[in-house]
Amino acid sequence: MRRCRLMVEVGRRQFLRGTVGTATAAAAAATVGGGARAATPRGGVVPDYPRIRLANVRDLVVDEPLEVTYPDADAPGVLLKLGRRVPGGVGPDGDIVGFTTVCPHKGYPLHYVREERTLDCPGHFSRFDVEAGGQQVWGHATMNLPQYELRVDEKGDIWAVGLDELLYGRVSNVLG
Amino acid sequence: MAFKRNVDRLPIVPPDAEEYNVVCHFCIVGCGYKAYVWDANREGGPEPSRNKFGVDLRRQQDADSAAWYAPSMYNVVRKDGRDVHIVIKPDPDCVVNRGLGSIRGAKLAEYCHSLVTGTQINRLTDPLVWRYGQMQPTSWDDALDLVARVTARVIKEYGWDGVFVSAYDHGGAGGGYENNWAIGKLYFQSMEITNIRIHNRPAYNSEVHSSRDMGVGELNNAYEDAELADTIVAVGTNPLETQTNYFLAHWIPNLRGETLEKKNRLLPGEPHEPARIVFVDPRRTVSINAAEAAAGKDRVLHLAIESGTDLVLFNALLTYIYDKGWIDRDFVEKYTVGFEKGPQEPPMYPARADSGEFAGRWPGLDEVVREIRISPEEAAKICGVPAGDIVKAAHWIAEPKAGGHRRRTMFGYEKGVIWGNDNYRTIAALVNLALATGNVGRPGGGCCRMGGHQEGYVRPPYPGGRPAPYIDKLLIEGKGAVHHIWGCDHYKTTLNATEFKRVYKKRTDMVKDAMNSVGWADRDRLVDAILWAIRQGGLFAVDVDIKPTMIGEACHVVLPAATQGEMNLTSMNGERRMRLSERYMDPPGQAMPDCLIVARLANHLERVFREMGDERMAERFRGYDWKTEEDAFMDGYHRHAPGGKFVTYARLRKMGTNGFQEPAVGVDEEGRIIGTPRLYTDGRFSTPDGRARFMITKWRGLQAPGKAEQKRRYRFLINNGRANHVWQSWYYDQDHPLVTDRWPWPFLEMNPEDMKELGLQAGDLVEVYNDAGWTQAMVYPTPTARRGETFMLFAAPRGVQGNVVNNGVNELVIPNYKQTWANIRKIADAPAEARRISFKSKEYRPPA
């Protein structure tokens, strides 16, 4: 009942999209603890993400970060080959991931800590685990690290086609 | 995958959005925010002329931008009965946080009740009552009639002692001057209740009795002092996680040397350097790591003492500093009781001795040092840190600077000692040190608790004695007939929780069974049945909260409260900065501010006593004709707080997120309230003669009953406390996916060698058990943890740490959470939820 009503209400809102009804049901069921992909605000229409070639799988060496930008030149990020299958990983070994390198807390540049495979922020000491979907290991950001949605074509070219969180400093991931 | 929102775009705040002053609901720091509210059917635009910030949002914004908001700062809520967009973002012009938002406060919008986006939809919306064997919604009048009738009958039959109360006394959400005054007026003025406890401790007492007894109010400095100090001493506090933006906006700049210009400007004529910092903590925290990154390792000293030995360390520091002649003799002479034989005053338990040389009088500083004298070497043996480090700390605290200028040292302490061994004496030992070195009431100084919640306390005096009754113990013993609970969840946040919950459930179930035997609408028989069950040992429980709680499941009436943002609310922060956090949305359903729930309950009690023919009792409940929270504010703070006569909502509104620092001392020609940045700058302390007291602080080992025995019997220290992601009892966080995704169970930081010996892997669920009870946690490998010493996240809904804290308290019924020992055994391999999370070190690492 509640879900249906919410879906109708949500349908009226020009800014809202996504799976709020499902999320609401999950929130109602999950009272404590883990894992509920529960209710959070959903905002914005889906922008028209550009499809951009970032590199070829041959360009990547395990643990050598490759600086890239996505979805435009003002959005620095990194491609990483990790040598083991990880969440969001693509390529023949499922080990290639891409992340923004702008801290989602206050917009400071993240650096790669090779020994632990984290992206760390010198501004306020937050750190994100590139082997766990960009989960904030510890820090102040209210989101985990925005990760690239990647595709690898038959030639081994790595294409970025989207993002899973809002980038710092933008009201829309695609500017304009 | 880690939790992601898949939000690609947010609505833009239009230029005409309504703007409200907001103070974060949560910790003591009280960061300033602004709420922007506008109609749901429109938005602004990216061009500068079309958004609130006058900024070109078609461009990437720079770091520290004031024009960016994260998805967690956005929601759709109800305001004046309509759906509106809301953005709640940190205020760059607030001097407290300077635009910073913590992982807790920067989610204020996402913590709002929203039927559109589904956030916090399990907020309480209607009064609920135990009817036909389950909780059912009803009207305010129906619910309050039952509460009033049962409470009135209990008072008639048992006197005031039959009424037990648990009530917060803090500021911020749920608390604040409005609600605290209302609760205090009801229970201390209309009633004379002594059987009352506070949200986080089992009695009605101060967390810092000794500091107050010595004349040193515990929030005596300004946040700016952390920018001016030569040395900061942080005891039992982890400020990066628990006072985040105080640490980031005021401590870190000083550690980085960024405040040197300010130091030279405000404190000319003496040499200045970037600050040094001393941490006293058995555990290496992320605060220590951050301080090292900011200041360099050579300017950070971590005294990783044996748990519970802080007092010995402070005594050794005082002895050494005294022997070196680094005491501030002028300060001691002028502003304290002096060096010998302090004033005769009636003994106050347990500060002044009943017998012996010091019976009935305060000691001077010379006497204190004679009594507590201990060398760095002797202290090193007890504290488990090198004597050289104790000496180094003494130098950093009190060695005069070049040119003979006194070093400015700020002392900040919190739950490590407040919930630690021998609270009264340990805090006194630290205050001794601060007073002896002249560091209270001067810029760059202060001896302050760091604080948990914000504050907001003005109430009529508590009618009970000292020590106050140990409420949990009395409830376990079967005392009390009715229990009113205001914004507390003891099932998650008390000590001896295993036993408390067992007995509490049994007693409240007796009343539920009795209620099941009578029809709901047969009110007289229902009340008779409840009273009958109470006489058999039952307990009638009423819970007021904003969310369903664990203790609420045991209750017979649950009343829905409004919270900050849904009402106007005033509080003060850790530097006594008072602000009005404005109402920016509607409360859900029938929820009301606590102060108005109090007023309506008082109205019903007046009516019920009149119907019972007791006019004298009925008269006690007059004076609650409040219609708004502002009425409660004017009745309480305005009339009763020091300087309250200068403070009104209108004046506070004008002063925005910066407010003023209490106490108010006047109003300037522009109508701005004039405050008090620091206490005791005139050297007059909070004692009858204005002179601060010293205290003899002898070491007596683990003070609370059962602790020494527990330490002998069990293998692991279960140190415990807070984490960055979580606020208080997780009341919002347990329904926030960013938090539950990171911490599906409370973590237990554990040395990898200990894990290996117990056959444990990262994420495994373990049982933590001892003579007090048992609980569960998720193992988090932590190489910096010492062997045999663990740290467990406190107050988690899926593993209550208080279950294994024994009932030992100090003389004034202060709980001792930190000194807990237990054994650990495996329950299960890491569940799926635990397998996908990161188990890497929480410590930031600078670039290679």
Residues 84-103 (A) with a CB less than 8 A from some CB of B: 87-88
A45: DSSP letter: P
Q: pLDDT of B377-413, one tens digit each? A: 999 999 999 999 999 999 999 999 999 999 999 999 9
Neighbour tally for A106: CB within 10 Å: 24
The Cα–Cα gap between B176 and B158 comes to 31
Strand pairing category for B774-781 and B747-750? parallel
> CA of B816 to nearest chain A CA: how many angstroms apart?
27
Chain A residue with CA closest to B746: the answer is A33
Concatenate the DSSP letters of all residues of B692-721 into one string. B--------SS-STTHHHHHHH-SEEEEEE
Q: Does B325 contact A at CB distance below 8 Å? A: no
> CA of B3 to nearest chain A CA: how many angstroms apart?
7
Residues of A in contact with B744 (CB under 8 A): 33-35
Q: Could you tell me if B313 and B422 are in contact, meaning their C-beta atoms sit under 8 angstroms apart?
A: no
Q: pLDDT of B207-265, one tens digit each? A: 999 999 999 999 999 999 999 999 999 999 999 999 999 999 999 999 999 999 999 99
Q: Could you tell me if B761 and B279 are in contact, meaning their C-beta atoms sit under 8 angstroms apart?
A: no
Least confident of B309-313, B346-350, B564-568, B650-654: B346-350
Q: Does B248 contact A at CB distance below 8 Å? A: yes
pLDDT for residue B349: 81
pLDDT for residue A46: 63
> CA of A56 to nearest chain B CA: how many angstroms apart?
24
Q: Could you tell me if B408 and B229 are in contact, meaning their C-beta atoms sit under 8 angstroms apart?
A: yes
User: Does pLDDT of A36 surpass 70?
Assistant: no
3-state SS, one letter per residue, for B559-595: EEECCCCCCCEEEECCCCEEEEECCCCCCCCCCECHH
Q: For chain B, what's the residue count? A: 848
Query: pLDDT band at residue A44, thresholds of 50, 70 and 90?
Result: very low
User: Does pLDDT of B551 surpass 50?
Assistant: yes
Query: pLDDT band at residue B348, thresholds of 50, 70 and 90?
Result: confident
The Cα–Cα gap between B422 and B699 comes to 9
Q: How many helices (H) and strands (E) does chain A have?
A: 2, 10
Q: Is the link from the previous residue into B663 a cis peptide, with omega within 30 of 0?
A: yes
Neighbour tally for B766: CB within 10 Å: 24
Q: Does A118 contact B at CB distance below 8 Å? A: yes
Q: pLDDT of A63-116, one tens digit each? A: 999 999 999 999 999 999 999 999 999 999 999 999 999 999 999 999 999 999
Q: pLDDT of B804-822, one tens digit each? A: 999 999 999 999 999 999 9
Residues of A in contact with B293 (CB under 8 A): 122, 125
The Cα–Cα gap between A90 and A171 comes to 28
Burial of B216 (0-12, 13-18, 19+ CB in 10 A): buried
Asked if B118 and A114 come within 8 Å (Cβ–Cβ), the reply is no
pLDDT for residue B354: 77
Interface residue of A14, A114, A166 to substitute, partner B, most B CBs within 10 Å: A166
Amino acid at B474: L
pLDDT for residue B813: 97
For range B439-448, the mean pLDDT: 98
Strands of B231-235's sheet, edge to edge?
B300-303, B276-280, B231-235, B409-413, B447-449
User: Does pLDDT of A35 surpass 80?
Assistant: no
The Cα–Cα gap between B317 and B320 comes to 5
Neighbour tally for B101: CB within 10 Å: 28
Two tokens, residue B397 = 């605290």
Q: Structure pTM?
A: 0.95
Concatenate the DSSP letters of all residues of A115-175 into one string. TTTEEE-TTT--EEETTTTTEEEESS-SSPPPBEEEEE-TT-EEEEEEESSPPTT-SBSS-
pLDDT for residue A48: 87
B43, B121, B797 member nearest A24 (Cβ)? B121
Q: How much of chain B exceeds pLDDT 70, in percent?
A: 100
User: Does pLDDT of A21 surpass 60?
Assistant: no
Q: Could you tell me if B2 and A87 are in contact, meaning their C-beta atoms sit under 8 angstroms apart?
A: yes
pLDDT for residue B353: 80
pLDDT for residue A42: 46
pLDDT for residue A45: 52
Chain B residue with CA closest to A126: the answer is B844
Q: How much of chain B exceeds pLDDT 90, in percent?
A: 98
pLDDT for residue A38: 31
> CA of B124 to nearest chain A CA: how many angstroms apart?
13
How far are the Cα atoms of B200, B384, B475, B665 from residue B478, in angstroms, in the given order? Answer: 21, 43, 5, 48
Residues 15-74 (A) with a CB less than 8 A from some CB of B: 15-16, 18, 20, 23-24, 27-28, 30-47, 49, 74
Q: pLDDT of B366-382, one tens digit each? A: 999 999 999 999 999 99
CA atoms within 13 A on the CB side of A133: 18
Residues 547-586 (B) with a CB less than 8 A from some CB of A: 548
Two tokens, residue B177 = 């001057």
Q: Could you tell me if A122 and A111 are in contact, meaning their C-beta atoms sit under 8 angstroms apart?
A: yes
Q: pLDDT of B285-313, one tens digit each? A: 999 999 999 999 999 999 999 999 999 99
Average pLDDT of chain B, as a whole number? 97
Residues 264-303 (B) with a CB less than 8 A from some CB of A: 286, 289-290, 293
* B112 Cβ contact list (under 8 Å, min separation 6): B75, B77, B86, B119, B120, B565, B585
Interface residue of A4, A110, A138, A145 to substitute, partner B, most B CBs within 10 Å: A138
User: Does pLDDT of B199 surpass 80?
Assistant: yes
Nearest to A88 by CA among B833, B2, B839, B838: B2
For range B553-576, the mean pLDDT: 98
Active-site residues of A: which are they?
105, 124
CA atoms within 13 A on the CB side of B120: 24
* Interface predicted TM-score (ipTM): 0.96
pLDDT for residue B346: 86
Residues of B in contact with A20 (CB under 8 A): 116-118
Residues of B in contact with A75 (CB under 8 A): 60
User: Does pLDDT of B75 surpass 70?
Assistant: yes
Residue range A52-163 forms a domain whose CATH class is mainly beta
User: Does pLDDT of A12 surpass 90?
Assistant: no
Residues of A in contact with B61 (CB under 8 A): 107, 168-170
pLDDT for residue B1: 77
Q: Where are the domains of chain A?
A: 2-35, 52-163
The Cα–Cα gap between B839 and A129 comes to 9
pLDDT for residue A6: 34
Q: pLDDT of B48-63, one tens digit each? A: 999 999 999 999 999 9
